[in-house]
Structure 1
């Protein structure tokens, strides 16, 4: 374990040329700044810049986190999708709040979003499901996420059968598929710096608008 400790301490962080973030020029809303940073990540060649960590907790308060894909940024907030039988969906049914974390390592940038979560309309949820790849739809139709699996052959057989079902019914939508929106109460933008002069800017909801606040690193 001591060797691992030394290895971890020796790993380089904040390598390469990092962008400069001047919070005095930040836009009025966090959605605008998020869009700017996301486009910068895409242009910089960051892999899966739309991947994010979703953190939830159930009635017992125990947190759980997983990485999934941002589906959109609408008027109500940051969107992700889930089957109603999944762990995250069950957590949200018990405690409808979540946190999202984006980290773009090459740019040393992190964004944290926190707030209540609400389901979008059945029509929007169905449209999201039908926009998924055939393989993703076939897996979701099974409705077995996080359940015990005997072996990989069982998985492959079930997905193959589900794909055949989709070929026969291409407009089929998983009944529990739901598009969710995190309606942010706070959004924090963090820009790393090689000299540890990190910059943190928080947007805090105030009525229908936002208040910007610098935070100590």
Structure 2
């Protein structure tokens, strides 16, 4: 007899990861950037799979939520950096409503980090530099992109990429005008550590506007 979905899900383990370094909020650094780097360094050292992949959440013109994975490119005082094609749905959504959330969850460590705030485009020079550093086939795929349009055949995609590879060989400095590097400048950042007894630890950093002074608070689970 096949197991029903509810039973199947109920039998799965949850928040079973383990962080070897206790989350001592009393000694947390003054900025979320510093704590993020500490957690990221631990995740890399413990070989957490793709710890730099985060979920970017946006809303469209009808206020319908949307989400997808993006790669974190840098973390600075400006915010958490990622790059997107402005012709994609996420690009259009951010153009209409330049606020978003980023979430990363590392199941091996039972840790989650959430950010919310405005999203601002970085300089044109930064976007060009990000595009230019990418491998040739990646640049060709970006140039060929018609993200989220209907694809009639995988062959059409490969043909489009090959066409852009030919363009790049003829014009090595070719740049996509639609490729933009962004920074999410968070107003709130929350660090969450799970616990087998459900004594979850939540530390929130919050600031007003562009104020660089962060307020830190523990939150109820």
SS of the aligned residue for 1:107 comes to coil
- Secondary structure (helix, strand or coil) at the match of 1:157 reads helix
Q: Is the 8 A contact 2:106 2:112 kept in 1?
A: yes
Q: Distance in 2 between matches of 1:18 and 1:27?
A: 18
**Aligned pairs, how many?**
217
Deviation, structure 1 residue 45 = 0.3
Deviates more, 1:132-141 or 1:35-44: 132-141
Equivalent-residue separation in structure 2 for 1:151 and 1:215 (angstroms): 50
Match of 2:71 among 36, 50, 69: 69
Residue 146 of structure 2 aligns with which residue?
144
Aligned to 1:10: 11
Map Cα deviations across residues 165-211 of structure 1 (whole Å, 9 max, x no partner). 22222221101110011011000000011111110000001433000
| SS class of match (1:93) | helix
**Counterpart residue number, 1:214:** 218
> Deviation above 4 Å: which 4+ runs of structure 1?
none
Find the residue that maps to 2:151 and give its secondary structure.
coil
Q: Secondary structure at the match of 2:138?
A: helix
Gaps of 5+ in 1: none
Q: Secondary structure at the match of 2:207?
A: strand
Deviation at 1:11, TM superposition (A): 0.5
For residues 79-135 of structure 1, give each alpha carbon's deviation from its aligned partner in whole angstroms, at most 9, with x where no partner exists.
Answer: 111111111111011110000001111000000010001100100000011112222
* Contact 2:17-2:107 within 8 A present in 1 as well: no
Please report the RMSD computed on the Cα atoms of aligned residues, expressed in angstroms.
Answer: 1.4
Aligned: 1:172 with 2:174: yes
Shift of 1:16: 5.0
Cα distance in structure 1, aligned partners of 2:172 and 2:217? 49
Question: Could you state the TM-score of these two structures normalised by the residue count of structure 2?
Answer: 0.94
Tell me the alpha carbon deviations over residues 124-151 of structure 1, each in whole angstroms, 9 at most, x when there is no partner: 0000111122222111101311111111
